[in-house]
Amino acid sequence: MTLISFLNSKNYQVYNRLVAKELESITAAVFLSELINRLEYHIENKDPFLEKDDKLWFYYTAELAEERLGVGRTCQKNAIKKLEKEGLIEQKNFGLPCKRYFWINEQAIIQRFLNSNNHSSLYEACKLDCTKRANKDVQNVQPGSDETCNPSYIKNTSKETQKEEKGGKPPNPPRAPHVSTSDDEHRKLAEEYGEELRDQAYQVLSDWKQDTQRSKWKKSDYRSIRRWVIDSINEKKTKNGKSRANQNLPDEIKDQYDGRW
C-alpha cells in the first residue's frame, strides 16, 4: 500500500461534532452517520428494503460495520443501544439466516437536531447543504425551504433511473434482497421449476450475494439461478435425503458400510 492510497479520503470516517456533543458519544455519532450513509447507499443502488410494521428496514451486518468503522461488536452494541434509547433508530433481526436490520427515525432526528433553538448552527449547516443539493437536483422547489431538506424531493440520479428516463428498458422488479428478474423470467422459472423452488432459489441467491463481494456478482440473476442455484439446492436435498436414509438403517448395516452411500 502506497502513502497516497493510505491517505485516500475514502479511508476516513466523518461525523458531526455537534451531534456527538448532543449525544455525549462520538461512537454513537459516527454510527448514526454511517447508518445514514448506508440508507442513502440502498436508495441510490435501488437495493430492496424490508417492509415490516409499516416501516422500511435495511440490513447492515456487524462484520461490514467493523470493517468500515474499525469498531467491534461491543462498541457497536453500545452505540445502537444509545441511539435506540434516544429514539433515533430501531434495530431488529429478521430472516433465516438471521440478519441485522435498521430503521432510521428521520422525524425524531429532525426534531432533535434541527428544530431546536439550541442547535441553530447545526440547522444552518444542514439548510446550507440541502440548498446546494436542491439547486442541482430539485425542480420547482424554492431553495432554503423545508422541502429541500426532504430526501423525497431529491432527484434520483442512479444509472437505472437515467436509463429509464431516456426511454430505455426499466429495471427488473426485486424478488429478494439484491435479486431481481423480469416478469417473463419470473414466469419461466415458475413453469420450469415450480413456484416453491423458484422462491427458494431467490432466497439462496440473495443469501449468497449478501455474503459475497459485489464484484463477483453476475449481471443476470436469471442465468445464475438456472446455471448453479437450482443445482445447488437439488444437490443439498439429495445429500440430506441420503443422510436421513442412512440414519434409519440398522446399526449392523451402518457398521458394514461405514456410512458410505
Residue 120 pLDDT exceeds 60: no
Band (228; pLDDT cuts 50, 70, 90)? very high
Q: Taking the domains of the chain in order of start, what are their residue ranges?
A: 12-153, 174-257
Taking the model in full, what pTM does it have?
A: 0.44
| DSSP class per residue in 88-127 | SEEEEEETTTTEEEEEE-HHHHIIIIIS-GGGHHHHHHHH
- CA distance linking residue 202 with residue 67, whole number of Å: 27
CATH number of 12-153: 1.10.10
pLDDT band at 121 (very low <50, low <70, confident <90, very high): very low
Helices (H), ranges, the chain: 3-6, 17-23, 26-44, 62-69, 73-85, 106-109, 120-137, 159-165, 183-193, 195-210, 221-224, 230-247, 251-257
pLDDT of residue 143: 42
